[in-house]
Each structure stands twice: as C-alpha cells, then as structure tokens.
Amino acid sequence: MNFAFVSGSVALDFVGTVQARRDAPLDLLTTSADLSAWCAASGVLDDPPTATHTDLEAAVDLREAVYRLFLASASGSPYVPEDCAVVNLAAAPNPARVELLPDGAVKRHGEVDAALSVVARDAVELLLQSAHPVKECSAPRCTRLYVDRSHRGSRRWCDMTRCGNRAKAAMYRARHA
C-alpha cells in the first residue's frame, strides 16, 4: 500500500487514506489488512495489529468524521454532533502504550482501538490549536489536508515532491508553450 505521511498530523494522514475525493476517490483502507498496515506504517504502533471488519468500519467512520470536522473548522461552520460523538468514542480508549527501551528506543504497543484513539486525540488537539492552519492542497485533483507550518503560512501543496513539483512543471510548460 502506498500510504503518504506528509500532512504534519497523524489524523490528517489518516484522512488522506482517501485520495482525490472530488474526482475519482481512491480508498486505501478497503480491507482490515490495509488498516493493520496503516497502523504500523504510520508509526502509531510498531507492529501491525490484527484488525477485524468491525475495526475497519470504526476506522472509516472516524476518518470521515475527522474529515468533515476539519472542513467545518476551515469554513467556520459548527461541528455536526454526530461527528463529535464518533471522534469522542474513538478517543475514549487508552492510546497506544509506549515503552522506553534500555537503548533509548521507544516501542509502541496496542490494538486497533489504541491506534484509533491516537488518531482521534490528535484530531481534537489539532482542532483546538490555531497557531498553524489546516489547509487543503492546491493541486487540482488532490484533496489532502495538511498543517501549514511554513514561516509565512504560504504553503500551497501537501507535498512538494508530489503535488508541488507537478504544479510547478505544469506552470513551466504553460509558460513555454
């Protein structure tokens, strides 16, 4: 699976498991194995947990609720209570356990509910902070949300190596056509 971790937030990277939402949505979490792989690839857990179909349904519900909450936040709209309830339910379990190892490394343990708790808690924290805005990528087909931590708040693309380079190459071709 080609998961991208460029959003500056585990919650927004989780939302980014649906690509091109407006045009031709591509869902990267279609099986419980995909969810297990994301939990480990994201670094939320060190080892892939055993995910069930019920876990996948809860994860997709959380992902979509988080997406809608950030859209509402960006537009200044009130949050839908059902979306808040989904996030609150996911945040309730204990998050992934961390273990400091003698060599200074950290091991992250847990099951899917612990990973989703980390995602939900990150979403809540990000919704509360206002220092860095959450934006949507300016690339025409990309719908990824990201935290703009640039010095001037002028970041336009979710990832310079993907969307930014494509956009700049297209502008170059248009100028020299």
**Prediction pTM value:** 0.88
User: Token digits for 99?
Assistant: 């273990």
10-175: CATH topology is Jann2411-like fold (1.10.3300)
b/e code 105-135 from CB counts within 10 Å (16+ = b): eeebebbbbbbbbbbbbbbbebbeeeebebb
pLDDT digits (tens, 9 = 90+) for 124-159: 999 998 767 888 887 878 888 988 888 787 777 777
pLDDT digits (tens, 9 = 90+) for 62-96: 999 999 999 999 889 999 999 999 999 999 999 99
